[in-house]
Chains A and B, each alone.
Chain A
């Protein structure tokens, strides 16, 4: 067993801003984001790689930040829910969730938004089945998912419109 906690210097770009911090080797990425950077939009849900509430994008790929060490994100680019809205206006995915009852208590929402963000980046026009598969790693205990599915469909349409497709 190591005597003193090992401290490592890491540098991570989060939502476009560079952060340099000293972290303990065992610090989890989600705790780094919440406690070292004060970005509390990312939630800790089950803490067992199940619920997906802690989902963030690491170098463009969705990950459960409770199951990644902060040191593994060193040199990487993170996007959290705080990075979605631009200049005070909600991202089309956020708007679609609000307008389609895609949330009730909201606890799972930050993780879901990031999963949908990756889904629509990789597949701008997903089928109903692809939406279900794309968010299978995120649990919602309130909505019964129907509002979420509608929100994803509506966000996909809006984003396609904005992109001039």
Chain B
């Protein structure tokens, strides 16, 4: 299968890519890791007139700690995050990066490309929504910062303006003791998840949850920040009752569509089960325990 013909351009910097895209017009697209765009082009679901390739531009792939933030360059590949110090520090990042598709896709796909694609089944959206995070962008009108919780607008639609590109993603680290977990149910490695849940807990005294971040993937037009589920845990002791309340609130926040991966009822039930398990793992990790998790293949 061949993509429809297009003109290929190589940007030497992010700024040059912005200029190229605004000169080339609306039918031009940015090429990052290409693991979504190239398949879409081969299926002729995307027919860009021009591709601006960012993979030869230096300095866009990095993971930097800046004070209480971890910053990811837009072109940082999933595989680089998987093996990074940041991921061993924040295991939820490892759960996500190591669970995206398969080795080959993780070697090419980028965190910036994944967010910009705004696929409702994308993995980074729910994971990063559990922390305060922001997307730093550059566009024809200069630079701006978009809070992540305002970034996803609709299926495959982000707050990025035409010609605007992601420069980096900044994730704010939270005070100790904090722990998180990302769990997904999928048919096999290569496919998108049926449903996924990300939980981050910041604990207080005596098993009290000071504050929580809970987000859901694959069960709506965008990743869903389950605010009611977060509230069900905030300031509460983590008991069977409060965890069940969070589970129910998350299931109510989900808006799943039936498709070949499962019925709406099934996906909602999966969300409930994953919330419960992710809370448990996040709590253990907040307590300093090393807990290895992997997605469920079912």
CB-defined interface of A38-73 with B at 8 Å, one 1/0 digit per residue?
000000000111101001000001111011110110
The reply to whether B5 and A49 form a contact with Cβ atoms under 8 Å apart is no
B108 touches A47 (CB 8 A): no
A124 CB within 8 Å of chain B: no
Question: Among B3, B4, B79, B190, which residue has the most Cβ atoms of chain A within 10 A?
Answer: B190
Which chain A residues border B290 with CB–CB below 8 Å?
none
Contacts A6-B7, A25-B7, A61-B79 given; indicate if A52 touches B104 (C-beta within 8 A).
yes
- A2 interface neighbour in B7, B43, B104, B294, Cβ under 8 Å: B7
Residue of B8, B34, B79 touching A6 (CB-CB under 8 A): B8
Asked if B42 lies at the interface with its beta carbon under 8 angstroms from chain A, I say yes
Asked if B8 and A137 sit within 8 Å, CB to CB, the answer is: no
B104 near A63 with CB under 8 A, answer: yes
Question: How far, in angstroms, from A48 to B49 measured CA to CA in the complex?
Answer: 22
Identify the closest chain A residue to B294 (Cβ): A133
Q: Contact check, A28 vs B2: say whether CB atoms are below 8 A apart.
A: yes
Cβ < 8 Å to B, chain A residues 108-164: 115, 118-119, 133-138
User: Is B266 positioned at the interface, with any CB of A under 8 Å from its CB?
Assistant: no
B104→A62 contact, CB < 8 A = yes
> What is the minimal beta-carbon distance from A27 to any residue of chain B, in angstroms?
8
- Please report the C-alpha to C-alpha distance between residue A27 and residue B41 in the assembled complex, in whole angstroms: 12
Interface size classification for chain A: 35 or more
Cβ contact within 8 Å between A64 and B49: no
Contact between A8 and B8 (Cβ–Cβ < 8 Å)?
A: yes
Chain B 94-110 interface residues, beta-carbon cutoff 8 Å to A: 98, 101-105, 107-108
Question: How many contacting A-B pairs (Cβ < 8 A)?
Answer: 96
Residue A5 lies at the interface, judged by CB distance under 8 Å to chain B: yes
Question: Quick one: which of B1-25 are within 8 Å of A by CB?
Answer: 1-8
Is A26 on the interface with B (CB-CB < 8 A)?
A: yes
Q: Determine whether B35 belongs to the interface, using a CB cutoff of 8 Å to chain A.
A: yes
Report which of A27, A55, A68 forms a contact with B34, defined as CB distance below 8 A: A68
| Least CB separation from B77: chain A residue | A61
User: Which residues in chain B, 69-128, are within 8 Å of chain A measured between CB atoms?
Assistant: 79, 98, 101-105, 107-108
Do the beta carbons of A118 and B103 come within 8 Å of each other? yes
Q: Which of A1, A66, A115, A134 has the most CB of B within 10 A?
A: A1
Complex CA gap A64/B118 in Å reads 23
Could you tell me if A25 and B5 are in contact, using CB atoms closer than 8 angstroms? yes
B55 within 8 A of partner (CB): yes
Complex-state Cα separation, A98 to B42, whole angstroms: 35
Given contacts A1-B49, A63-B104, A136 and B189 within 8 Å (CB-CB)? yes
Q: Which residue of chain B has the shortest Cβ distance to A115 in the bound complex?
A: B103
With a CB–CB cut-off of 8 A, which chain A residues contact B255? none
Residues of A within 8 A of B258 (CB): none
Quick check: A137 and B189 within 8 Å, CB to CB?
A: yes
| B51 A25 Cβ-Cβ under 8 A | yes
A64 to B101, CA, bound (A): 12
* Chain B residues within an 8 Å CB radius of A48: 1, 39, 42-43
CB–CB A49/B190 < 8 A: yes
Nearest chain A CB to B57 CB, angstrom units: 13
When C-beta atoms are compared, the residue in chain B nearest to A61 turns out to be B107
Determine how close the nearest CB of chain B comes to the CB of A95; give it in whole angstroms.
Answer: 23
Give 7 A-B contacts (CB < 8 Å), ordered by A residue.
A6-B6, A26-B3, A26-B4, A47-B1, A49-B38, A133-B98, A137-B102
